[in-house]
Chain A
Amino acid sequence: MCLPARPNDWPSVPTLNQIEMIQVENLSKDFGPKVAVNNVSFSVERGEILGFLGPNGAGKSTTMRLITGFLPPTAGVVKVGGNDVTEKPIEAKRLMGYLPESAPLYTDMTVEGFLGFCAEVRGINGADKAKAIDRAIDMCFLKSVRHQSVDTLSKGFRHRTGFAQAIIHDPDILVMDEPTDGLDPNQKHEVRSLIRRMGQSKAIIFSTHILEEVEAACTRAIIIDQGKIVANGTPEELKAKSELANSYIVSISGTEVGAVRDKLGSVIQSAKVTIVNDKAPTVVARVFPKKAGTDGELGQAIFAVAAQNNWKVNEIKKEEGRLDDVFRNITLSDTKTQ
């Protein structure tokens, strides 16, 4: 499947040259005494796909609603393509496509009618409208349900219709709240690759609580917890924060637990050795490095120890770190206090 190009003769959507497409500065939102978003700042550039992670109720949806202008902020500024969302909402909204959580749709319309309505509201009319609808239907695999009423669609098709609505005007900026929620694994894969491809030319923010999705589709991820940003970096940078990052799993035969622990523990580069599995004749141990950056040396040292002691090494594997560990460590504090 290839991405149909945006027709050249579309007049309605202004194209932007500036790099910072979304700028969020000191954004806060209170609901009564509850602080949903607390002094959040970040920006998204063209060509970036930003994954928004966080436990339920962390403020992901609220942040997206603030960016898209659905909710007014209590404090702070959101600029979309240079337009302040509070002061120039129409201009800002014109640049954005938004897929709200659980993809609400007008159920009394057909898929085609609904997409036509969204196109018209965005000022796309006549032949351009027909082109825009065809393009969105193609990209979201909706051909088979084109003339079907939305309330007869399955969840996957509904979601894709919501997605089609968000990209109907080929926006420079896409904001999506859990775009793969409720899809089957194949559809998730499709949506992710669609996001990846669109991300080359757009600025995209999407929220999720599926961590593999971040690794599969994002160029950068933000972890938000209790309304605050607690981590911001590429998926690799975040993974490196894992305790397990750069540790080695070694599976050894022909020795016993005590020897493995002693010998590997005395390697200069290792900070700690834990025994993962001990089923004779095989011992599986995890060796943690003393400090980051010495990981290659640690691997060499492990091999050297094994050779000295005539251990049979079945397997040695370096751990890159796991996002779910990082996620849990960073966001666990509130689960504990509850």
Chain B
Amino acid sequence: MKSIWTITKRELAGYFNSPVAYVFLVIFLLMTAAFTFLIGQFMDRNQATLQPFFMWHPWIYLFLVPAVGMRLWSEERRQGTMELLLTLPISLWHCIIGKFLASWLFLTLALVMTFPIWITVNYLGDPDNSVILASYIGSFFLAGAYLSITSMTSALTRNQVISFILSVVICLFLVLCGWPPVTDVVETLAPRSIVEFVAAFSVMPGIEQFNNGQIDSRAVIYFLSVIGFPLFATSVIIRGLRA
């Protein structure tokens, strides 16, 4: 366990040693604010809820999470440091989890830094804070799911841009395949059972549950498996690279 934390610390320091972390935090906060106030019409709604804040997270994360995670393994491959890392006396799993945790913690920090919106809504009205907490938990899981997929795509290539694009495409699929505006159209073309089967892979139903204040064990299991499977795939890819 200690070696996981050593890896995590190094990766986290890696973010803050470069301007990337600060640029990312500023962009994330600006974007969430812009979407909440300008497009989500937070003020005009006159409702004490953070719905217009959380509803954009699947879309904002779609680009920002792959941007955070794209370097995880591709940079190790490009710089050749993977050879160094994997000949240290730690298991591959510790490396994968340590790196993943570092990025997840970083994204969690970004999420925590949105607390002024929570203060604002409590100052202006009387929101249901348990719903807000559930929504934050949902957003945390969503970031983890996207990040895990990015970990997998970054192990596939030594090029960060390719890793980013692949990850965006996969995450976009996970959003769209269960997003009503898309499924409604597809339902007119394909049998309902197939549409429902594909939609079951989507992150959207789970996220909606969290945003409604429900912490459903099925949603939690869904997110944990969407985090777990790509991490497993990451280990398979890295082992495959060396075979």
Contacts and interface: CB of A to CB of B under 8 A. Distances in A.
B13 A93 contact: no
Contact of A100 (B3, B6, B80): B80
Interface string B184-221: 00000000000000000000000000000000000000
Contacts of A100: 80, 83-84, 87
Contact of A72 (B7, B87, B89, B243): B243
Contacts of A106: 10, 14, 79, 81
A117 B11 CA distance: 11
A89 B87 CA distance: 9
Nearest to B95: A121
Interface in B39-80: 79-80
Contacts of A123: 2, 89
A100 B87 CA distance: 9
A59 to B, nearest CB: 16
A104 interface: yes
A90 B10 contact: no
Contacts, number: 69
A68 interface: yes
Interface stretch (A107-115, A138-146, A199-207, A247-255): A107-115
Interface in A79-103: 89-91, 93-94, 96, 98, 100-102
Interface in B1-34: 2-3, 6-7, 10, 13-14, 17-18
A165 interface: yes
A118 B88 contact: yes
A71 B241 CA distance: 9
Contacts of A65: 83
A91 B88 CA distance: 10
B242 A98 contact: no
A330 interface: no
Say which size band chain A's interface belongs to. Answer: 20 to 34
A101 B83 CA distance: 9
A120 B6 contact: yes
A72 B10 CA distance: 27
Given A106-B10, A117-B6, A93 B89 contact: yes
A122 B87 CA distance: 11
A83 to B, nearest CB: 11
B169 interface: no
B38 interface: no
Contacts of B90: 90, 121
Contact of A90 (B2, B79, B91): B91
B124 interface: no
B86 interface: yes
Contacts of B80: 100-102, 104
Contacts of A122: 88-89
Given A104-B80, A107-B79, A108-B17, A121 B6 contact: yes
A105 B81 CA distance: 6
A51 interface: no
Counting chain A CB atoms within 10 Å of each CB, the highest count among B3, B18, B88, B89 belongs to: B89
A32 B207 CA distance: 45
Counting chain B CB atoms within 10 Å of each CB, the highest count among A72, A91, A117, A149 belongs to: A117
Nearest to A90: B89
Nearest to B243: A72
Contacts of B13: 108-109, 113
Nearest to A30: B243
A69 interface: yes
A70 interface: yes
Given A72-B243, A98-B87, A121-B3, 16 more contacts: A69-B86, A89-B91, A93-B87, A93-B89, A98-B84, A101-B80, A102-B80, A106-B14, A107-B79, A108-B13, A109-B14, A117-B6, A120-B6, A121-B89, A122-B89, A123-B2
Interface of B: 2-3, 6-7, 10, 13-14, 17-18, 79-81, 83-84, 86-91, 242-243
Q: Nearest 7 CB-CB pairs, A to B? A: A104-B80, A93-B89, A94-B89, A100-B83, A68-B87, A104-B81, A120-B6
